[in-house]
A and B are shown apart, each in its own frame.
Chain A
Amino acid sequence: KQEVTQIPAALSVPEGENLVLNCSFTDSAIYNLQWFRQDPGKGLTSLLLIQSSQREQTSGRLNASLDKSSGRSTLYIAASQPGDSATYLCAVEGNTPLVFGKGTRLSVIA
């Protein structure tokens, strides 16, 4: 059974800092790994999708890496802004539909 773990559960940083969010998964037989953003009480917004054959994806200030063999992914956020404050969720798709982690709650302090 696939399990996804995200560390840390919560993170508070000053504006402008670069930061890394971590995600690990137990079954390396995946099709892809996705990072989502969720604002309080809202739905999810897809940030990046990394296919199993890829090592990383970039979008603006976001960079996500995937090491399938070790079951790990990182989301790097450069020059953080208060508007980045949200919960970031990692999810993997394999033989089962998306399995999500519990998320990392990020607060960027101005």
Chain B
Amino acid sequence: DAGVTQSPTHLIKTRGQHVTLRCSPISGHKSVSWYQQVLGQGPQFIFQYYEKEERGRGNFPDRFSARQFPNYSSELNVNALLLGDSALYLCASSLGDSSNEKLFFGSGTQLSVL
């Protein structure tokens, strides 16, 4: 069975541009979460979606948005990129949205903003 897949694996953008990151969860998983991991730090929660509805949002500006599609895949969009948005963006999926759910992470998208 395929794990969580993310695309692209690497991306280089310039300041002010827009970026879309994609995530496909494990088959049967209905919840997708997004995390930002800056070099040397732990991942920081951005969004959670379950059954196409936003269930949680971290402390990120409105430049960050996301959505989940009927097939449970998800997109993370970032507008007006800043140098500080350079990071590894991780997607995680789980069966449901209750506590104590085991999370399965993808390998991430490494975003560099120049």
Residues of chain A whose beta carbon lies under 8 Å from any beta carbon of chain B: 4, 31-32, 34, 36, 41-46, 49, 51, 89, 91, 93, 96-103
B82-114 contact mask (Cβ, 8 Å, vs A): 1 or 0: 000000101010000001101111111010000
Interface size on B, residues (CB 8 A): 24
- For residue B4, which residues in chain A have a CB less than 8 angstroms away from its CB? 43
**Do most interface residues of chain A lie in helix, strand or loop, or is the interface mixed?**
strand
A100 in contact with B108 given A31-B100, A51-B100 (CB within 8 Å): no
Query: B105: which of A31, A44, A96 is its contact (CB, 8 Å)?
Result: A44
B44 touches A100 (CB 8 A): yes
CA distance A45 to B92 in the complex (A): 10
CA distance A34 to B43 in the complex (A): 13
B70 at the interface (CB under 8 A from A): no
Given known contacts A36-B105, A98-B43, A99-B45, what 18 new A-B pairs fall within 8 Å (CB)? A4-B42, A31-B99, A31-B100, A32-B99, A41-B88, A42-B107, A43-B4, A43-B90, A43-B106, A89-B43, A91-B42, A96-B45, A96-B56, A98-B45, A100-B42, A100-B43, A100-B44, A102-B42
